[in-house]
Chain A
Amino acid sequence: MGERLVDAPSLSGTDTAGRASGPSQPVRGLSRLFRRHRRLGLLSLLSPPVLWMLVIYIGSLVLLVISAFFALDPKSQKPTTEFTTANITDALSNESAIRLFLQTVVIAAIVTISCVLIALPTSFFIAKIAPRWMRRGLMVSILLPLWAGYMVKTYAWRAMVAPAGGNKFAAEGRGGGGFLASQLGWTPGFSKTSVVIALVYLWLPYMVLPIYAGLERLPTSLLDAAGDLGARPMRTFRSVIFPLLLPSIAAGSIFTFSLSLGDYILPRLVVDGKERVMFGELINSTLGAPNQPLAAAFTVWPLLVIVMYLFAMKRAGAFDNL
């Protein structure tokens, strides 16, 4: 890493200052050069990552939006070079698409709020109440499910929520339903509720992590002070802890909200294909139609909402707490 940092611009570096003897001289000269020309240092540090993101990522997004302005050849279903605004107009005015998108935003919001409600007490317990020796073990336990694999967990939720069938119709020893139905006697079945639960399950660790980190930074003395001033625990939480944790919550919500918003594999499996629940499914099926330009036009919705959301979260200080 260290070598890489100074190697890159070493050509110019040796030219200006590297005539003296010894291998470290040019390097030393270079660092002096950087100190003198702060712009150069900044440029060499900043340009690789920023160029990567601008050229590869932002460039791709721009191309994607542009590709929405081309007409589709109805016969071969390939994009042509003919300019049209029909796709964008359709994507922005199609009522059922808008309704689906709003539903998706609502689901993502419910998932995010549920994650906050679960993560707050859990991380508070881990950071402030659990004995020190337990903390790392508890945090690892929270984070470990992240490694189990998205697809596997998705199928696991099918096995969790599957409703019971009529026993006489099922195979021998089967038909009691999934884990919930057979062990707890209750299941949300293949429904939107199950989609929300499964999404909370998938992304919860991403909310616990920043909140836990935020709580760890919170000096215990501060909480004690609030208590000394007569604040009840709820009051301490409302007036002291929660405001200080807001940036952490905002940071976690970037993950829970965004990852939920774009999902299209889990909802279809968890509602058993009965209905289309989320907007990503629409984009995916449009793309598969195949109607690349219209699919690209549909992506404008999540693009707009996420960019707006990010701006809001940035104001909430989320970016310093990711």
Chain B
Amino acid sequence: MRSSRIAVALLASLSIVAAACGDDESDSGDTTATTAAPQETTGDTAAPDTTEPAAPETTGAGEVDYMWTPNADVLAGAEGEVNIVAWPGYIEDGTNGPDWVTPFTDITGCSVNVKLGATSDEMVQLMQSGEYDGVSASGDATQRLMAGGEVEAINLDEFTSYDDIFDGLKDQVWNSLDGEPMGIPHGRGANVLVYNTEAFPDGLDSWSVMWEGGTDADGAVSVYDSAIYIADAALWLMTAQPELGITNPYSLDQAQFDAAIALLESQKALAGQYWSDYTVQAGSLVDGTVLAGTTWQVVANFAASEGAKIETTKPKEGATGWSDTWMLSSSAANPNCMKLWMDWISSPWANAQATEYFGEAPSNSLGCGLTSDPDHCTNFHAEDEDYWTDVWYWTTATEECLDGRTDVTCVPYTEWVNAWSTLRA
């Protein structure tokens, strides 16, 4: 019976797979020592003191103070699980190294299911499905979510971590609607200029290398591949062509918008790469095939750790940037667990872990002492409010101009997407 031998062989090779997959269950066991018993000590929900050790827990490394006290009422209603759309690296449960989900699950009893989104656009689409309880949305997605009714306003009384969020991040157009907060800020970063130090030994302090050219970097410029990058063109036009009268790069009337598109069209001659993929840009920086470009600090750090001869700077014209927001779905099946997650991820310890892992500035002012790299907050300018004054956070453009003009209509983000699509075709 040859065939039965074959069947045995097949089973054998499958069991190799199974064995290879199954034997690590015990390895991770030592982090789950705590009981899931919620901390019932927080009687008063209105005045939580997050500096007080709330849920002390022991791990192998010793005492960790999470500095989080969940709202007791919300905790009492915890559903047991939550489904979240998030950027890769925002929700880590230890399966890839770091872990700020396990303590959350231990404290709240909510298990966390993640659906990774690769782009803001994809996240909007996922939230439109109504399948998920919440999302970590960037500013180019939040307004669409608010306009579409995908997310709902939050009641600040239910969130104990909100008080310690940097003021500069609260009540902004991308995270509030008519003065009502629509989510909890997660972290922030600027889209900085990166350049090769061999190509530019004297350093750079202007975006002109990416728009006017005439340098060694012509044809080796790296551009962020998203419709939101139109705002970077507008930002450059604010100083390069002041007669256009742009005062907010996300608020462009048709003439201003057309000028930005024309500028992007002319940039094609300088561009060597349009990136949306983290590793792709880092690799090019290391190989020296990209000599200047717009980047995230974390990409530059990664490339530098690989030996890339690069430096980053926020040019004198300012920069665009992002501030991500955790939002609650209006059709959430597990609203309480989602609220608890939003509160937890913006609490000092968890926020410090998540933002350091991703490579951005934490949103919680108390998080800075809790990063594993003591210089993390300095590197990412977390506490330096001056740094952020000329950073234009990603916002979704709408027909009503965001700069307050009422005599014209502005170009909405849908048109941005179409224009970008045409530009890149």
Contacts and interface: CB of A to CB of B under 8 A. Distances in A.
A167 B119 contact: no
B47 to A, nearest CB: 38
Given A162-B283, A169-B196, A169-B309, A288 B288 contact: no
Given A169-B198, A282-B421, A286-B421, A163 B289 contact: yes
Nearest to B120: A288
Interface stretch (A25-33, A69-77, A130-138, A216-224): A69-77
A170 B277 contact: no
B306 interface: yes
A76 B274 contact: no
A232 interface: no
A168 B225 CA distance: 27
Interface of A: 73-78, 96-97, 100, 158, 162-175, 177, 269, 272-276, 282, 285-292
11 contacts: A75-B412, A77-B124, A96-B422, A165-B287, A165-B289, A170-B288, A171-B309, A174-B288, A177-B287, A282-B425, A287-B125
Contact of A74 (B272, B414, B421): B414
Contacts of B276: 273
A292 B287 contact: no
Nearest to B421: A285
Contact of A77 (B148, B274, B291): B148
Interface of B: 119, 121-122, 124-125, 128, 144, 147-150, 196, 198-199, 225, 271-277, 280, 283-284, 286-289, 291, 306-309, 412, 414, 417-418, 421-422, 424-425
Contacts of A269: 277, 280
Nearest to B287: A165
Contact of A76 (B147, B309, B425): B147
A202 B290 CA distance: 28
B16 to A, nearest CB: 14
B307 A275 contact: no
A175 B287 contact: yes
A114 B287 CA distance: 31
A168 B309 CA distance: 9
A292 B147 contact: no
B288 A272 contact: no
Contacts of B122: 288
Contacts of A162: 283, 287, 289
A272 B424 CA distance: 13
Contact of A171 (B149, B307, B417): B307
Contacts of B124: 77, 290
B287 A78 contact: no
Given A75-B148, A78-B148, A171-B307, A273 B291 contact: no
A63 B308 CA distance: 50
Nearest to A77: B144
The 10 closest A-B pairs by CB, nearest first: A76-B148, A169-B288, A165-B288, A170-B288, A171-B307, A288-B121, A273-B274, A165-B289, A290-B125, A289-B417
A257 B237 CA distance: 45
B424 A275 contact: yes
A243 B257 CA distance: 59
B288 A175 contact: yes
B86 to A, nearest CB: 17
B contacts with A: majority SS: mixed
A162 B287 CA distance: 9
A267 B149 CA distance: 35
A73 B196 CA distance: 45
B414 A170 contact: no
Contacts of B274: 272-274
B307 A174 contact: yes
Nearest to A168: B198
A188 to B, nearest CB: 14
Contacts of A175: 287-288
Given A273-B273, A290-B121, A290-B125, 6 more contacts: A73-B148, A76-B148, A165-B284, A171-B309, A272-B272, A288-B119
B7 to A, nearest CB: 13
Nearest to A173: B307
A273 B277 CA distance: 9
Given A77-B144, A169-B198, A273 B275 contact: yes
Contact of A169 (B280, B291, B417, B422): B291
Given A272-B280, A290-B121, A171 B414 contact: no
B263 to A, nearest CB: 18
Contacts of A170: 286-288, 309
B284 A272 contact: yes
A49 B410 CA distance: 53
A94 to B, nearest CB: 9
B33 to A, nearest CB: 36
B225 A171 contact: no
A292 B129 CA distance: 12
A166 B198 CA distance: 10
A96, A100, A162, A174 — most chain B CB neighbours (10 Å): A174
B1 to A, nearest CB: 17
A26 to B, nearest CB: 29
A34 to B, nearest CB: 27
Contact of B272 (A73, A274, A290): A274
A132 B168 CA distance: 74
Contacts of B148: 73, 75-78
A166 B218 CA distance: 13
B163 to A, nearest CB: 32
Contacts of A177: 287
A250 B128 CA distance: 41
B65 to A, nearest CB: 40
Contacts of A169: 196, 198-199, 288, 291, 309
Contacts of B421: 282, 285-286, 289
Contacts of B283: 158, 162
A78 B225 CA distance: 23
Contact of B425 (A96, A173, A287): A96
B282 to A, nearest CB: 11
A23 B292 CA distance: 79
Interface centre among B275, B289, B308, B418 (most CB of A within 10 A): B289
Given A76-B149, A275-B424, A288 B225 contact: no
A174 B144 CA distance: 43
A177 to B, nearest CB: 7
A275 B273 CA distance: 9
B304 to A, nearest CB: 9
